[in-house]
A and B are shown apart, each in its own frame.
Chain A
Amino acid sequence: MISVQNLHKSFRDKVVLQGIDLEILEGETLAIIGRSGSGKSVLMKHIIGLLQPDSGRVTVDGVDINAISYADLRRIRQNFGVLFQGGALFDSMSSFDNVAFPLRTFTSMTETEINRVVMECLEMVELPGVQTKMPSELSGGMQKRVALARAVALKPRYILYDEPTSGLDPETSTTIDELIQSLSDQLNVTSIVVTHDMHSVLNIADKAAFVHEGKMHWAGTIAELHESDDQILRRFVKANEYLIGK
């Protein structure tokens, strides 16, 4: 379980997070939604310890990740797979080497075993045959899928997705959503999806948490989201309605 308690974060004079509280239960898919610049990605980076909070706590399985050594934090991070907004594939490596990277770094697998796992992961994201291609030879959507294959290569317990569908065409976005859904089902992972795409939220999430002006404005299930009469939340959802055909 991941728990965020009273999280505050500022960058110089700019206040980004103002007392965020959040709980993510084992096996659920939570969508963190909100407008661009509302602090969603900053919140996600705190969850994996890439940013240090000004105050507040982030606990993963009961461990306060800001109160442990860097070596222990790195061990905890090995339970996470992260899909970054731009994919963050290593551009000096082929797709195969990108997916193989965590396996070569953190396991004692032989090259034959690594080869098998990489191929499985690439098939899982419906991209068999791209293993020799460099990231620059792939489209944006393909890069994200290879990055997703890399994120799941070590079979993590938690997967964080930072704007997985941003910048993609609707068809590719749907493919990514289906992949996230099927990975959650196949691997039984806890997923946290940072997005402002309500289409994705309705497709993949069990719960949603709405961040507004650095605060946790609303949190609940998708059914509750539909029924909520919170004006700010409704305005945000309404702005997406033309996309989701309501």
Chain B
Amino acid sequence: MKTHSSGFHPSVLILYAKKLILDPIHSFGRYSQLLFRAFGAVPEFGTYRKNLWEQMIHVGIDSMPIVMLAAAFSGAVTTVQTSYQLVSPLIPKSIIGSIVVPSMVLELGAVVTGFILAGRVGARIAAELGTMRVTEQIDAIEAMGLNSIGYLIVPRVIAGIVMFPVLYIAACFVGIGGGMLVGHIGGFVSIGEFVDGAREYFQPFDPIFGMIKCLVFGFIITSVSCFKGYYTRGGAEGVGKATTEAAVASCVFLLLADLVLAATLL
């Protein structure tokens, strides 16, 4: 084979171009196709009614303890760091409340919950569907005459969209409560000052924006993870790869969506 004088072979360039340009386009096409088929299966409620309830428990109820723990620490750390950065007799302590609350409502509540769900729920969905794919369980569902996308993917995505806001609300309450409690116990700010600060700078659109984020994040995490799991190839290695890719891709798209939503809605 001919190589250039630099020792660089053109086929390497083609390989990289394929990997960086064509493969993502191909994946996006398949993802869109999967979503199209999933939307088409939404009216077949009987197909996924029972599964939906189970998925809502897996996504929402089972994730609640770890989300609340992470949110409580996020709120507490934000309070401690804010008080550390703004220690001055000229700055009222109530400023801590006015920073912690919007931080939780606008960003931390949704993003922390999102990262936890990407790791916990996204990886689980990809591993579950990936295993079903490589052990022909998805083929078995199709062979019976059931819509596998309607049965497996639709309930997971709906569960993500419905339960993410529930987790977000819980995360915000617990995060703000954690921040307020640590502020009070640590002597950084009294509960009254914290609440005054939170009230003074409260914007009614903030929780609405947080809820919009949740709907988008819930959709991204579950749909991307379903896509990775549903199209798993190979055996155990393929399942492992799909699981990792689901968690990583969910986090990346979540951050991207976070930026786009902030830039367009705030």
Contacts and interface: CB of A to CB of B under 8 A. Distances in A.
How extensive is the interface on chain B, given as a class? 10 to 19
Contact of A50 (B131, B132, B139, B146): B139
B145 interface: yes
Nearest to A71: B147
B143 interface: yes
Interface string B123-164: 000000001100111011011111100000000000000000
A88 interface: yes
Nearest to B50: A104
A102 interface: yes
Q: Is the interface of B mostly helix, strand, loop or mixed?
A: helix
A32 interface: no
Contacts, number: 50
Contacts of B146: 74, 105
Contacts of A96: none
A78 to B, nearest CB: 4
B135 A77 contact: no
Contact of B139 (A75, A88, A89): A88
A77 B143 contact: yes
A77 B144 contact: yes
Contacts of B144: 77-78, 82, 101-102, 105-106
A78 B145 contact: yes
A86 B147 contact: no
B145 A75 contact: yes
Contacts of A76: 145
Interface of B: 47, 131-132, 135-137, 139-140, 142-147
Given A84-B139, A88-B139, 17 more contacts: A50-B139, A50-B142, A50-B143, A74-B147, A77-B143, A77-B145, A80-B143, A80-B145, A82-B139, A86-B136, A90-B132, A90-B140, A101-B144, A102-B144, A105-B47, A105-B146, A106-B144
